[in-house]
């Protein structure tokens, strides 16, 4: 396929806001791509040249991308930057400048463009900035205007297509499976490998049979299994038919540890590679894991070596940084509480029952210096659950995670095989809600100079792959927090409502759904003005007295925010004691 043809598809996708129409266009695109290029097309749709978890970035600053545009079309960089200030979209500027070149439909293949972009990403050493700029300028000279527009947006990480992974999966299902009935197989492969490109390639090459054989593997993060909520020990025992497995619930970072001989990689809850941030965990895995290969699920927590105390999340989160890593690893070392094992010595363990996985876990980790195995306890009485819960609270932990003893490790699932039990006060909402900021509304008065007003926030509707509104949040934010929100939000402002946002309200400024915040509210209520869970003329769901608790974007993608399904469950549970 030519890159020009792909750019024409991008052009169509960009102006489409109906999800069904997006799926149709994607299916048509996938049908016309050859197996040798399908993975590349898939990565480019998300504006990348590798799966999300691979830290391969093109690595060009806005200024040098503008420099490449200027160099390609023979104008001054200052002029390009000035236009950029006015138009706000370098893609459009490149398109405009490229019109003079009179190239109608360039013949460069997707594979060629992809190769050059990869080369740009891998360029290092002396003169990197200039070399990268030359390579991009070279490409820009050879393409037509529409291609130039979309090409420039890739290194900017601003492809503006707004297509989520579930929509890509639907497009693939429609293109290759004819209907949606085998969509589950695609989803399972996705949950186990997190690599949409690899999945598409496997499907194109080996059909459904090959797809159904895809399993977890080293170096590819498994999508984390998540928890449901239940109000008390009694309900949990009932749900689990009389026996539960209990572990303490630690409040730190979800950390997936991959060991392949001496090489160790670490992935976060949102599937980003975080290996360089945590040298002590890498060392811990090397020294304590007694297996050639392994994938472990853990929660990493800051620990005060002097007082031997676990520190709250606010401290742990200081370790998410790119600089002064060594110094911080000494000052605020992490411990990893390993609560599951999904892969061992070349074999996937995800289909083994939890009980058997816990036996393996006990044997695979030696000592407790950095990694601490948490094989948990199997419990049959309500009193014992309460005892363990109180003990956890006393230790400053969040509570318990209760699991079904005979359950498999279900990548990406959130169901009643894992249930969290946290402290609450009766009547109040028992848990916080993770919301995505969708836009902001300017305020009036003195504080408006800080940009204070209110935020329009939403949650994720996983069934529809869209973001729906749930609340406006204004009170409780300090001037400093407003400034911080503006600093983050202004970089992702968009001119129109993004394709995957469904809202009856129009804020002063729309932003791309990217920033996740944790919100505490008194209650979930019904409201006709919000679209969360809204069906026809029935009202949607909303939050009463919402307030910001903390930013969660470091460990959650927008799609990891609370889902409408969870919200409805929390609504139905909120006044049960
Ligand atoms: P919360 O905001 O309550 O931490 P969450 O939205 O991050 O929850 P949940 O699925 O609701 O995610 O809670 C599960 C999280 O708890 C896991 O992602 C993991 O990071 C953490 N956790 C701590 N201890 C355990 C444990 N023993 N087993 C499983 N998960 C644990």
Chain segment 178-190, per-residue pLDDT in tens: 766 788 999 999 9
Per-residue pLDDT averaged across 477-482, rounded? 80
Give the separation between CA 547 and CA 517, rounded to whole angstroms: 10
Q: Indicate if 120 and 255 belong to the same structural domain.
A: no
- Tell me the CA–centroid distance for residue 249 and ligand 1, in Å: 7
Mutate to test the pocket of ligand 1, among 221, 227, 337, 413 (most ligand atoms within 8 A of CB): 227
Asked if the structure places residue 75 within a domain, the reply is: yes
Query: Which residue has the least CA distance to atom 16 on ligand 1?
Result: 249
Q: Indicate if 376 and 525 belong to the same structural domain.
A: no
Chain segment 88-101, per-residue pLDDT in tens: 889 999 999 999 88
Q: What are the contacts of 144-147 at 24+ separation with CB within 8 A?
A: 144/4, 144/7, 144/98, 144/101, 144/103, 144/104, 144/105, 144/106, 145/95, 145/96, 145/98, 145/99, 145/101, 145/103, 146/4, 146/7, 146/8, 146/11, 146/95, 147/3, 147/4, 147/7, 147/106, 147/108
Q: Which residues are catalytic?
A: 249
With a 6 Å cutoff on the Cβ, whether 299 touches ligand 1 is yes
Range of the domain at 535: 433-573
Residue 161 is predicted with a pLDDT of 82
Asked if the structure places residue 192 within a domain, the reply is: no
- Tell me the CA–centroid distance for residue 438 and ligand 1, in Å: 25
Chain segment 267-316, per-residue pLDDT in tens: 999 999 999 999 999 999 999 999 999 999 999 999 776 666 778 888 88
Q: Which atom of ligand 1 is nearest to the CA of 434?
A: 6
Q: Which residue has the higher pLDDT, 320 or 223?
A: 223
Residue 149 is predicted with a pLDDT of 96
Asked whether the beta carbons of 462 and 565 are under 8 A apart, the reply is: yes
User: What CATH number should be reported for the domain holding residue 137?
Assistant: 1.10.3260.10
> In a 3-state reduction of DSSP, which class is residue 517?
strand
Chain segment 533-566, per-residue pLDDT in tens: 999 888 999 998 888 888 886 788 999 999 999 9
Residue 151 is predicted with a pLDDT of 96
- Tell me the CA–centroid distance for residue 226 and ligand 1, in Å: 7
- Residue 127 corresponds to which tokens in the numbers above? 């003169």
- Residue 526 corresponds to which tokens in the numbers above? 């019904």
74: left (phi over 0), alpha (psi -120 to 50) or beta: left
Q: Indicate if 522 and 553 belong to the same structural domain.
A: yes
With a 6 Å cutoff on the Cβ, whether 384 touches ligand 1 is no
Residue 228 is predicted with a pLDDT of 92
On the question of pLDDT at 477 being above 90, the answer is no
pTM here is 0.83
Of 156, 188, 206, the position where a domain reaches its end is 156
Residue 146 is predicted with a pLDDT of 96
Q: Indicate if 482 and 334 belong to the same structural domain.
A: no
Q: Indicate if 245 and 357 belong to the same structural domain.
A: yes
Sorting pLDDT into bands at 50, 70 and 90, what band is 448? low
Of 102, 133, 156, the position where a domain reaches its end is 156
Q: Terminus-to-terminus CA distance in the chain, angstroms?
A: 60
Query: Which residue has the least CA distance to atom 8 on ligand 1?
Result: 227
Q: Indicate if 388 and 249 belong to the same structural domain.
A: yes
Asked if the structure places residue 248 within a domain, the reply is: yes
With a 6 Å cutoff on the Cβ, whether 247 touches ligand 1 is yes
Q: Indicate if 55 and 78 belong to the same structural domain.
A: yes
* Least reliable range by pLDDT among 101-115, 192-206, 258-272, 312-326: 312-326
Q: Which atom of ligand 1 is nearest to the CA of 420?
A: 13
- Tell me the CA–centroid distance for residue 227 and ligand 1, in Å: 7
With a 6 Å cutoff on the Cβ, whether 512 touches ligand 1 is no
Angle at 42 between CA 41 and CA 44, to 5 degrees: 65
Asked if the structure places residue 203 within a domain, the reply is: no
Mean pLDDT score of the chain, rounded to an integer? 91
With a 6 Å cutoff on the Cβ, whether 492 touches ligand 1 is no
Residue 268 is predicted with a pLDDT of 95
Q: Indicate if 20 and 96 belong to the same structural domain.
A: yes
Asked whether the beta carbons of 255 and 222 are under 8 A apart, the reply is: no
| CA distance to 112, 240, 251, 377, 569, per residue, from 236 (Å) | 56, 6, 21, 15, 15
Q: Which residue has the higher pLDDT, 58 or 103?
A: 58
Asked if the structure places residue 219 within a domain, the reply is: no
Query: Which residue has the least CA distance to atom 19 on ligand 1?
Result: 254
Sorting pLDDT into bands at 50, 70 and 90, what band is 426? very low
Mutate to test the pocket of ligand 1, among 249, 371, 559 (most ligand atoms within 8 A of CB): 249
Of 134, 156, 178, the position where a domain reaches its end is 156
Q: Indicate if 118 and 87 belong to the same structural domain.
A: yes
With a 6 Å cutoff on the Cβ, whether 556 touches ligand 1 is no
Per-residue pLDDT averaged across 459-484, rounded? 87
SS3 of 472-490: the string is: EECCCCCHHHHHHHHHHHH
Mutate to test the pocket of ligand 1, among 230, 401, 417, 517 (most ligand atoms within 8 A of CB): 401
Q: Which atom of ligand 1 is nearest to the CA of 226?
A: 10
Tell me 411's DSSP state: T
Q: Indicate if 274 and 310 belong to the same structural domain.
A: yes
Q: Indicate if 468 and 398 belong to the same structural domain.
A: no
Asked if the structure places residue 406 within a domain, the reply is: yes
With a 6 Å cutoff on the Cβ, whether 249 touches ligand 1 is yes
Per-residue pLDDT averaged across 166-170, rounded? 94
Asked if the structure places residue 168 within a domain, the reply is: no
With a 6 Å cutoff on the Cβ, whether 227 touches ligand 1 is yes
Query: For a pLDDT cut of 90, what percent of the chain falls above it?
Result: 69
Sorting pLDDT into bands at 50, 70 and 90, what band is 576? low
Residue 449 is predicted with a pLDDT of 64
Q: How many domains does the chain have?
A: 3
Asked if the structure places residue 197 within a domain, the reply is: no
With a 6 Å cutoff on the Cβ, whether 254 touches ligand 1 is yes
With a 6 Å cutoff on the Cβ, whether 151 touches ligand 1 is no
User: What CATH number should be reported for the domain holding residue 496?
Assistant: 2.40.50.140
Query: Which residue has the least CA distance to atom 13 on ligand 1?
Result: 227
On the question of pLDDT at 143 being above 80, the answer is yes
Q: Indicate if 453 and 385 belong to the same structural domain.
A: no
Residue 62 is predicted with a pLDDT of 92
On the question of pLDDT at 480 being above 50, the answer is yes
Range with top average pLDDT, 157-166, 249-258, 447-456, 517-526: 249-258
Sorting pLDDT into bands at 50, 70 and 90, what band is 427? very low
* Least reliable range by pLDDT among 30-34, 311-315, 340-344, 504-508: 311-315
Sign for the pseudo-dihedral over CA of 145, 150, 155, 156: positive
Per-residue pLDDT averaged across 420-433, rounded? 67
Query: Which residue has the least CA distance to atom 31 on ligand 1?
Result: 249
Per-residue pLDDT averaged across 146-171, rounded? 90
- Residue 518 corresponds to which tokens in the numbers above? 């944790």
DSSP string for residues in 86-99: HH--HHHHHHHHHG
Per-residue pLDDT averaged across 74-86, rounded? 93
Q: Which residue has the higher pLDDT, 397 or 239?
A: 239
- Tell me the CA–centroid distance for residue 68 and ligand 1, in Å: 45
With a 6 Å cutoff on the Cβ, whether 250 touches ligand 1 is yes
Q: Which atom of ligand 1 is nearest to the CA of 403?
A: 28
């Amino acid at each position: 396929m030519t890159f020009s043809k792909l750019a024409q598809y991008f052009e169509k996708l960009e102006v489409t806001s109906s999800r069904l129409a997006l799926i149709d266009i994607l299916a048509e695109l996938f049908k016309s791509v050859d197996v040798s290029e399908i993975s590349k097309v898939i990565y480019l749709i998300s504006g990348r040249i590798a799966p999300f978890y691979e830290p391969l970035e093109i690595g060009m600053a806005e200024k040098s991308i503008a420099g490449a545009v200027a160099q390609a079309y023979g104008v001054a960089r200052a002029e390009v930057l000035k236009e950029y200030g006015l138009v706000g979209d370098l893609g459009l500027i490149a398109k405009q400048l490229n019109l003079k070149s009179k190239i109608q439909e360039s013949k460069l293949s997707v594979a060629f463009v992809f190769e050059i972009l990869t080369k740009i990403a891998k360029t290092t050493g002396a003169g990197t900035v200039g070399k990268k700029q030359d390579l991009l300028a070279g490409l820009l000279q050879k393409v037509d205007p529409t291609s130039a527009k979309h090409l420039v947006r890739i290194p900017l990480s601003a492809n503006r297509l707004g297509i989520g992974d579930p929509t890509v999966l639907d497009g693939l299902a429609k293109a290759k499976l004819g209907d949606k009935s085998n969509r589950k197989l695609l989803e399972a492969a996705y949950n186990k490998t997190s690599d949409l490109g690899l999945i598409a390639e496997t499907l194109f090459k080996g059909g459904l049979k090959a797809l159904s054989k895809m399993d977890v593997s080293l170096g590819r993060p498994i999508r984390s299994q998540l928890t449901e909520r239940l109000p008390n020990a009694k309900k949990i025992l009932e749900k689990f038919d009389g026996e539960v497995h209990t572990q303490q619930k630690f409040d730190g970072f979800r950390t997936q540890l991959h060991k392949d001989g001496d090489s160790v990689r670490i992935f976060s809850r949102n599937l980003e590679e975080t290996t360089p941030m945590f040298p002590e965990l890498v060392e811990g895995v090397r020294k304590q894991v007694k297996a050639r290969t392994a994938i472990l699920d853990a929660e990493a927590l800051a620990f005060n070596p002097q007082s031997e105390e676990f520190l709250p999340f606010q401290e742990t989160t200081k370790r998410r940084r790119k600089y002064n890593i060594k110094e911080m690893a000494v000052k605020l070392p992490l411990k990893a509480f390993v609560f599951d094992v999904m892969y061992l010595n070349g074999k996937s363990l995800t289909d083994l029952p939890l009980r058997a996985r816990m036996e393996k876990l006990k044997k695979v980790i030696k000592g407790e210096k950095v990694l601490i195995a948490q094989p948990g306890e199997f419990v049959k009485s309500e009193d014992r659950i309460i005892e363990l819960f109180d003990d956890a609270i006393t230790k400053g932990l969040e509570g318990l995670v209760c699991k079904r003893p005979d359950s498999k490790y279900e990548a990406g699932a959130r169901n009643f095989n894992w249930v969290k039990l946290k402290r609450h006060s009766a009547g109040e909402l028992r848990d916080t809600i993770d919301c995505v900021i969708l836009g902001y509304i300017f305020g009036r008065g003195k504080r408006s100079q800080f940009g204070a007003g209110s935020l329009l926030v939403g949650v994720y509707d996983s069934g529809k792959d869209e973001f729906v509104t749930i609340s406006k949040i204004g009170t409780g934010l300090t001037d400093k927090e407003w400034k911080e929100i503006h600093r983050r939000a202004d970089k992702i402002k968009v001119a129109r409502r993004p394709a995957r946002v469904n809202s009856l309200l129009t804020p002063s400024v729309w932003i791309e759904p990217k920033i996740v915040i944790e919100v505490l509210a008194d209650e979930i209520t019904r409201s006709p003005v919000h679209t969360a869970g809204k069906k026809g003329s029935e009202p949607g769901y909303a939050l009463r007295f919402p307030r910001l608790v903390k930013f969660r974007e470091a460990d959650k993608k927008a799609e990891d925010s609370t889902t409408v399904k969870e919200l409805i469950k929390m609504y139905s549970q909120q006044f049960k004691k």
